[in-house]
Every structure is written in structure tokens, then in C-alpha cells.
Structure 1
């Protein structure tokens, strides 16, 4: 029986049968046994090639499915923060928090212009700030040892007391202090709003 070039086994696009055919029969048989393929001792080389090719493809499909699932999970959780964007409540939650629209996704829109919004979603906050030219910052002189002090968004309005920090540092402190981000997208007249404030439901300094 002459050996044919290329891939002769259906549904195995990720497997090179040419590579398998270059292997020795004993090597193919050993791999087939490792893949728990039955009857390998009586198989000829071409049969071993086909069975090993199928087993390799099944393994590739399985791993690809796992990677896709992990990627989907990462994408779903990307930038949400530990509370999935949900508002944090405590004994001293303000009335403004109570009456704000909760935003838990970058796809959500305000119910109306001028609506007060609240979120803990990292990506929502970052996008809101960057759309307005804002960067994460802390108020100089309010640090606690190695910990950041009062958190702010710096809109480059020349406030000498603000020091720019990384988003990673900013959100780490934001979550450790269980803060909420209360903000507006637009004013009631429809123009862009830069209003925001940070609130802790337990009334610690933001």
C-alpha cells in the first residue's frame, strides 16, 4: 500500500500526517498506547498514522475549547473590579447614592441627561475619566505611609496639590477603601459633565 502525501484523515486540520508518517512504527505505537487507542499491536503503519492523527486533533480541539472559554471568562470580568461594578452599601450610605442609577457595565447608558450615576466598575471609571482628559491622582501630603492618600481625578486644571498615579495603584486603593464613584455623563442641558465624587459607605476619607 503506497503512502499518500498530505492529510488523508478527515477533520484533522491541525495535525500533520506527513510528520506522523516520518515517525517509526514503534514510536507511533507508543503514542497510540499513551492516547489509550485500542488494538495498536495489530495495526499497520498507515492505520496507526490515522488513529494518532485523530487523537492529536481531539486533544487540540479540547485545548482550544478550554482556551476560548478562559478568554471569554477573562473578557467578561475584564475591568469590572471585585464587586462586578456593583455599588457598595454601608450604614452611612448617602442619599445621593441611593438615588443614583447603578452602572455595572460599559454598555449601560444614563436613563436621562443629568442623571446621577454610581459605579465601582474599573473600566467604566477609566473610560469616563479619559474621555475628559482626566488621569488618576492623589492629593499630595495625605498619604498614609506607603498607601495613597485622598484619591482624585486630575483634569489638568493645574492643581499643584495633585500627583498623578497609575490606574493600578488608584483602583487598588479604591477597592481597599470600599469606595463608590458617583458621577455624571452630561449636565441637564446635555453638555459633557466632569462632576464626580468618591464616597465611602462607612464614611472613611476618600
Structure 2
């Protein structure tokens, strides 16, 4: 299926380059030079991803990102483009609702793979049944299968599995898991470690090849996925 992309960028030359690149790749791209036009397009269309410049005339990209999250779609992937590359700028962008951040100047192939990754993750989040290699994850029935064999998980194990499945192939950090599972409630990291251990026993112990992978100092993801 072709991705429908909304590009919000006031630099006409850059916008033309990006639009031409993605359309040659088979994507469909709508272009808005202002936040006002972007909001009109968002009211009319269902986009797979928004590529959003930070510095826009009138309403800034950060303000537009907040409006999208508040009034349109909390799950719509937003990739911010900006020349501002300090840690504070990047953190603030994420806090405003961005899913990814690419600093200018950038190369188009990198933008392409980032867009593809965000669109894929968003598609996974919307699917009722998700298949990744030997894993089948069914949101509706709350069932998980590996190679056709049902894996019995606890309620918390299922929630952890859901997050890892939806974010694959990205590595999910322990802090992100804690935030998504318990919010602002104070939770010991040992509690998460215990749940991950139980998930690993259920998912990997009956099989010869381990799937759940801990990336030291980073987080967890799947491995040995064909």
C-alpha cells in the first residue's frame, strides 16, 4: 500500500526535492508551506505520516505538532525536520509530540528509511493481528502464538509483548517500558526485570531458538526474526 505523506515545509526548493523523491518511490505526498494549510489538509485526509519543519511562518512546527496531538490523531507519526540540533531542542521536540527528529542538512535516503520505519510501526499499531516472523500477536483475542503454538502470558506479559511487537524493529528502552506500563507511578526496575524474565520463560524456554533479546544498556527487542 502506498504511504500518504503530508510534508509541511516553507522552503519551496527543499519541499520540491522531497516531494519529487518520494513520488518517484511510489508514495503520495501532499505539500503545505504553512501550518494553517496543513491543518486544513489534516481535516480532509487520513495521512500515514507527517514530515514537519520546525521553523514555519505564523504557527511554528512545535505548536502545530501539539495541535495535531491534541485535536487530530495521537497516533499519527510525526517526523520533525529542523536546523536546531541541540539536545534541549531535540528533547523539547519529542515532548511536543514528535516521534522522530532529523536535523538539516540531511540526505534523502536517511529520510526515506526513517519515514518507512515510522509508517510501519504505525501500521502495526492499527492492525488487530500482527505477525513478525514466527510470532503472531492478536489484540482482539489477547492471544500470542509462536510457530502456531499458543504462548500463555500473564496480563503484564501480554502488555510488554504488545509494546515490543508494536515498536519492532526498534529497541524499546527499559525506561520507556516502565513509562508505558505504569505511567508516573513509582516502580522499581527490578519489577520490570521480573516480568521480562517471566516473558522470556514463556516465549523462549519451550523452543530451541531465543527470540527475546536484551541489548545491554539500551533495552529489549526481538532477534532471529527471518
TM-score (normalizing by structure 1) = 0.24
TM-score (normalizing by structure 2) = 0.23
Hey, which of these two has a bigger chunk of strand by percent?
Answer: 2
Hey, which of these two has a bigger chunk of helix by percent?
Answer: 2
